[in-house]
Amino acid sequence: MKKALILLITFIFNSILLISSDNSLQDKSMFPLLGDEARERGYELPNPYGINIIYVDMKQDVDIKEINLTGTIGKLDIGKSLNLNADKAKTVNTNKLVKADIWIFPFLNVYGVLGKTKGHSTANVNGTFFLPPIFPNGKPIPIPIKDVDFTLRYEGTTYGFGTVLAGGYNNFFSLVDFNYTNTTLNIIEGDISAFVVSPKVGYNFDFYNTKNSIWIGTMYQNITQTLKGDINTLGILPPGINVKNGKFEVKESTSSPWNNVIGFRSEINKSVEFTTEVGFGKRKSVTLSLGYRF
């Protein structure tokens, strides 16, 4: 799927560059379909092809659904001897993306994204570590683990696709953005997948020879992430304890799927546009985008 998406984005980029290099081709572009009919009805349409450079910074809480441990200390099975409890983790993610898009119809845009994600997840852990009994037939010795903060740092390649459904009346507009992304981690094992739905309503206005838009809306984001690695690197074991073949697996998902957003877009000219959007509530985010349309 990743290779197919990269090929799709490459094809879109090459098509955009070809069209932008020839004004006659640009004037005869078949996209958006039904574009002439929409213009005859008084709608002003954006150029059909776009490239955007996007920066996203996001902070939110996630629920820890599952912690799995494997490995041995001598003959001791660490999965049975180490009991950890953690309900929530705080995550911070930074995304640097390139997006390529096409308006297929005046009301339908499709796009692909490719880029890098870097972040960390921090959780407060409590639990008990059971040492083997000192005497035969004795009981395991419990060692409490209290309020230990550990942080998993990760980065990886993000890829995905999405679509936008849009409509408007006079200067008012509404749209719904659907997208799915997956991040393959390359520092620790695992991946992060995210499904996002974002409905918005807004208003278009002119200001000093620029065309601008403001909007408000909500964002639903369902994120699941699986983080894996060496248990000896977590810093939660007593000093001098080393786990042979020790591995951990932590499964997390979004704590609060909904938050509110407010955004602004300005067309510097018909081709260049700048967009910013701020998310607030239990999930906080800042998105900056610089785009070029053909």
Summarize pLDDT for 231-258 with one digit per residue, the tens.
887 776 767 878 899 999 999 999 999 9
The top-scoring range by mean pLDDT among 42-46, 67-71, 102-106, 129-133 is: 102-106
- Tokens representing 234 are 């977590």
Q: Which helix (H) or strand (E) holds 12?
A: helix 2-20
pLDDT-based confidence at 2, cuts 50/70/90? low
Contact at 8 Å (CB) between 80 and 68?
A: no
How much is the pLDDT for 25? Answer: 45
How much is the pLDDT for 234? Answer: 73
- Which residue in the block uniquely carries the two structure tokens 């898009």? 101
Query: What percentage of the chain carries pLDDT values higher than 90?
Result: 61
Beta strands in 23-136 (DSSP E): 49-73, 76-77, 82-85, 88-105, 108-131
Q: Which letter does DSSP use for residue 37 in this model?
A: H
- Report which residue type is found at 55: Y
Distance of CA 226 to the CA centre of its chain: 14
pLDDT at 106 over 50: yes
**Euclidean distance between CA atoms 92 and 164, whole angstroms:** 26
- Tokens representing 83 are 């009991």
**Euclidean distance between CA atoms 213 and 166, whole angstroms:** 14
What DSSP line would sit under 139-157, residue for residue?
A: --EEEEEEEEEEEEEEEEE
**What is this structure's pTM?**
0.85
pLDDT at 21 over 60: no
pLDDT-based confidence at 193, cuts 50/70/90? very high
Q: Which letter does DSSP use for residue 137 in this model?
A: T
Looking at per-residue pLDDT, the higher value among 165 and 137 belongs to 165
pLDDT-based confidence at 80, cuts 50/70/90? confident
289 contacts: CB under 8 Å, gap ≥ 6: 52, 53, 54, 55, 99, 274, 275, 276
Average pLDDT over residues 146-157: 90
- Report which residue type is found at 204: N
pLDDT by residue (tens digit) across 198-231? Answer: 999 999 999 988 999 999 999 999 999 999 999 8
Q: Which helix (H) or strand (E) holds 4?
A: helix 2-20
Distance of CA 211 to the CA centre of its chain: 29
Contact at 8 Å (CB) between 128 and 173?
A: no
User: To the nearest whole number, what is the mean pLDDT of the chain?
Assistant: 88
Q: Which letter does DSSP use for residue 228 in this model?
A: E
Longest dimension (CA), the chain: 90
Distance of CA 8 to the CA centre of its chain: 20
